[in-house]
Amino acid sequence: MEASTVFDPKPILTALPSLPGVYRMLAVDGSVLYVGKAKDLKKRVSSYFQKTDLSPRIKLMVAQISAIETTVVRTESEAFILENNLIKALSPRYNILFRDDKSYPYILLTGHAFPRLGFYRGALDRKNQYFGPFPTGHAVRENIQLLQKVFRLRTCEDSVFNNRSRPCLLYQIKRCTGPCVGLIAPAQYQADVRNAILFLQGKDHELLADLQQKMDAAAEAWRFEEAALLRDQIQSLNKIRGKQFVSSNTSQLDADVVACVAANGLLCVNLVMIRGGRHLGDKSFFPSNAEGYSAPQALEAFLLQHYLERGIPHAIIVNGVPEPEPLQQLLSEQAERKVLLNTSPTGERRVWLEMAIKNAEIAIGQRLVNQSTQEARLNALQALLGLPSGEARIECFDISHTMGEATVASCVVYDHMAMQPSEYRRYNITGITPGDDFAAMRDVLTRRYQKIAAGEGLMPDLILIDGGKGQVGVAQEVMSEVGLTDLLLVGVAKGEERKPGLEQLIIPQHQKTLQLPSDHPALHLIQQVRDEAHRFAITGHRNRRGKARTTSTLEDIDGVGPKRRQRLLAHFGGLKGVQTASVEQLCQVEGISRALAETIYKQLHSS
């Protein structure tokens, strides 16, 4: 607040040009409070200090301004782009932010002689064909399963495909035609690939007509088995069409439907993806720093942050943005073709928009239910432990290993009434007696809280230890050593027969041990955080153990150095592939003689 009495905006405002550009409001410590764009920098920036009807949020921001920086650009479109890039790079605390850093997944068809059907996320390669993008990984996997049922294309990696001597289980359950062992002619497989492509492109009428014609011809020629297979394909496709095609009149349409809804203090944007007339699914987004933003403002921010670094469909149907024309021009420039930003849809497009609005309303309802549940759990935990009311930060630790091998400690964080995966950390534990959980707990707690005691990181309100009195005693010693004796520690000891609901809570500061009723909301919150710590630890342990075992198993074989080991693993797709390979198959790997292949085979099968 002190900055408002010191900062005098008049010299800066006088010198500002009436040109398009981007401005940055800075705090006393140099951090960026807000990034904005303007058609006219002088008018826009001056309005912050001349208007009396500013929202409480903006008033608070203006009171913290210590400096203003501006960048003049040539056009309003350039201002849009620069604003978006700066928001993503700087994450200003007063700008609305949509967290969506992951690339969207695609269905992949490789360029092999027998193309592989698969899940793909990343940069696109011209050698292969891609269909999508899809809003979620689940939508991709669901579609791959449907395609497997209907067209029976292979999904196995090359390392498996090239080394099969008999068909796998997918062939047995009629999810693959067995191209790896020559059970389908290349021409017939390519026909199945072409049909899958027609379906993915939305050319369903053309595909169904072709299949119907082939079925009739097969029946007339008394090839009843073939006719039955085609009949099953047609029936499956008709079922899928009933679920996924949004309209029989729009088989070639590529569009996104984006709706923003404000209700009960929350803003939600719902994105529905339609490609080739097929409804690929939807995804809901809840922005950060959304206080004071209207739904149209939030929608404009989403369109900018979402599309300026992604592929843009030919049409985007929205429920209103403040300035549609410059936004449409910017999106068209970005896509290097005309993009229709439809703010007043009619007919079936209006129905799609209403569907997206309904999705957003449902997502808000679910978020509110979840928030009220989490709030009730947190309130119960605070009352139980005597913690102050309001939001609380909880950190939980767990240790995972197998007979002392590949010990990994996990730390998960619960804050703002939700788990915070971006703040999770794993710690590889070395230099201790294998299997010594107390030493492992001492190691991870010392490493984490030495830094926090030195001011590097946020101080938790509660530390949960997955363990009994021994682990809690170690935790107390560590906190005393690093000078954080005020932090509340709670041990979560597994109850009788390790059954959920029978956990004992060890609270050394209160010198007591509790066993809460199985339906107690505080216990539910503790279980939620503890279970996440356990899941995160065991996943890290399995990854570390698998890597160590793969390396050490092959390292123990004389004559197999790093290069040969790498070639073996690459050729067979991992250690399991090497273990199941015959001597003749091992000989096919570059640098592996028959004598060495026999040695490898014997050592891998000696146990």
User: How many alpha carbons fall within 13 Å on the CB side of residue 8?
Assistant: 3
Q: Which of 365, 380, 403 is the last residue of a domain?
A: 365
In the prediction, which pLDDT does 552 show?
58
Least confident of 99-108, 119-128, 291-300, 301-310: 99-108
Position 29 confidence tier, pLDDT thresholds 50, 70, 90: confident
Cα separation of 73 and 81, whole Å? 10
Burial bucket for residue 234 (CB in 10 Å: 0-12, 13-18, 19+): middle
Identify which has the larger pLDDT, 497 or 248.
Answer: 497
pLDDT of 258 higher than 90: yes
Report the CATH number that the domain containing residue 492 is assigned in CATH: 3.30.420.340
Other Cβ atoms closer than 10 A to 404? 13
In the prediction, which pLDDT does 5 show?
52
Considering the domain architecture, whether residues 453 and 568 belong to the same structural domain is answered as no
In the prediction, which pLDDT does 271 show?
94
Considering the domain architecture, whether residues 194 and 307 belong to the same structural domain is answered as no
Within a domain: 378: no
pTM summary value: 0.67
Report the CATH number that the domain containing residue 7 is assigned in CATH: 3.40.1440.10
Question: Which two tokens mark 604?
Answer: 């891998």
**Residue 601 near residue 582, CB atoms below 8 Å:** yes
Cα separation of 241 and 223, whole Å? 27
Burial bucket for residue 460 (CB in 10 Å: 0-12, 13-18, 19+): buried
Chain segment 58-87, per-residue pLDDT in tens: 889 999 999 999 999 988 888 888 998 898
Considering the domain architecture, whether residues 405 and 511 belong to the same structural domain is answered as yes
Sign of CA dihedral 518, 519, 521, 524: positive
Mean pLDDT value across residues 510-518? 89
Within a domain: 592: yes
pLDDT of 249 higher than 70: no
In the prediction, which pLDDT does 187 show?
93
Q: Which of 347, 365, 383 is the last residue of a domain?
A: 365
Identify which has the larger pLDDT, 538 or 277.
Answer: 538
Using alpha carbons, list the distances in angstroms from residue 346 to 107, 319, 333, 434: 31, 12, 26, 68
Chain segment 360-385, per-residue pLDDT in tens: 999 999 888 888 889 999 999 999 99
Considering the domain architecture, whether residues 319 and 189 belong to the same structural domain is answered as no
Mean pLDDT value across residues 201-212? 74
In the prediction, which pLDDT does 551 show?
60
Considering the domain architecture, whether residues 290 and 401 belong to the same structural domain is answered as no
Considering the domain architecture, whether residues 351 and 431 belong to the same structural domain is answered as no
Within a domain: 227: no
Considering the domain architecture, whether residues 77 and 122 belong to the same structural domain is answered as no
Mean pLDDT value across residues 457-470? 94
Considering the domain architecture, whether residues 407 and 539 belong to the same structural domain is answered as yes
Considering the domain architecture, whether residues 414 and 529 belong to the same structural domain is answered as yes
Position 396 confidence tier, pLDDT thresholds 50, 70, 90: very high
Considering the domain architecture, whether residues 276 and 358 belong to the same structural domain is answered as yes
Least confident of 30-39, 272-281, 308-317, 324-333: 272-281
Mean pLDDT value across residues 485-499? 84
In the prediction, which pLDDT does 413 show?
96
Cα separation of 566 and 570, whole Å? 6
Cα separation of 221 and 217, whole Å? 6
Within a domain: 44: yes
Q: Which of 519, 544, 569 is the last residue of a domain?
A: 544
Chain segment 320-364, per-residue pLDDT in tens: 888 888 889 889 988 889 999 999 998 888 988 999 999 999 999
Considering the domain architecture, whether residues 17 and 158 belong to the same structural domain is answered as no
Q: Which domain holds residue 511?
A: 394-544
**Residue 440 near residue 429, CB atoms below 8 Å:** yes
DSSP 8-state code for residue 102 = S
In the prediction, which pLDDT does 174 show?
84
Identify which has the larger pLDDT, 311 or 539.
Answer: 539
Distance of CA 563 to the CA centre of its chain: 34
Mean pLDDT value across residues 298-316? 88
Nearest to 249 by CA among 212, 200, 209, 205: 205
Least confident of 96-100, 317-321, 540-544: 96-100
Q: What are phi and psi of 7, to 5 degrees?
A: -75, 125
pLDDT of 412 higher than 90: yes
Residue partners of 41: CB distance under 8 A and separation at least 6: 16, 17, 18, 19, 20, 21, 23, 70, 72
Q: What are phi and psi of 407, to 5 degrees?
A: -70, 130
Mean pLDDT value across residues 280-309? 88
**421-424: Cβ within 8 A, 24+ apart:** 424/536
Mean pLDDT value across residues 49-54? 84
Mean pLDDT value across residues 433-452? 94
Residue partners of 273: CB distance under 8 A and separation at least 6: 132, 133, 134, 135, 256, 279, 280, 281, 282
Q: What are phi and psi of 80, to 5 degrees?
A: -55, -50
Residue-wise over 320-334: b if at least 16 C-beta within 10 A, else e? Answer: ebeebebbbbbbbeb
In the prediction, which pLDDT does 254 show?
84
Least confident of 100-109, 198-207, 558-567: 198-207
Within a domain: 242: no
Within a domain: 216: no
Mean pLDDT value across residues 93-98? 89
Strands 315-318 vs 278-285: parallel, antiparallel or unpaired = unpaired
pLDDT of 242 higher than 60: no
Identify which has the larger pLDDT, 567 or 237.
Answer: 567
DSSP 8-state code for residue 222 = T
Residue partners of 444: CB distance under 8 A and separation at least 6: 397, 399, 409, 411, 427, 429
Q: Walk across the sheet containing 32-38 and list its strands.
A: 32-38, 21-26, 67-72
Mean pLDDT value across residues 141-167? 85
Considering the domain architecture, whether residues 435 and 539 belong to the same structural domain is answered as yes
Least confident of 196-210, 378-392, 557-571: 196-210
Position 548 confidence tier, pLDDT thresholds 50, 70, 90: low
Mean pLDDT of the chain: 86
What proportion of the chain, given as a percentage, has pLDDT over 70? 93
Cα separation of 268 and 474, whole Å? 45
Report the CATH number that the domain containing residue 581 is assigned in CATH: 1.10.150.20
Within a domain: 247: no
Mean pLDDT value across residues 184-188? 92
In the prediction, which pLDDT does 247 show?
47
In the prediction, which pLDDT does 538 show?
94
In the prediction, which pLDDT does 163 show?
82
Chain segment 590-607, per-residue pLDDT in tens: 889 998 988 888 888 765
Least confident of 37-41, 246-250, 326-330: 246-250
Domain count, the chain: 5
Within a domain: 239: no
In the prediction, which pLDDT does 354 show?
93
Max mean pLDDT among 41-45, 225-229, 287-291 falls in 41-45
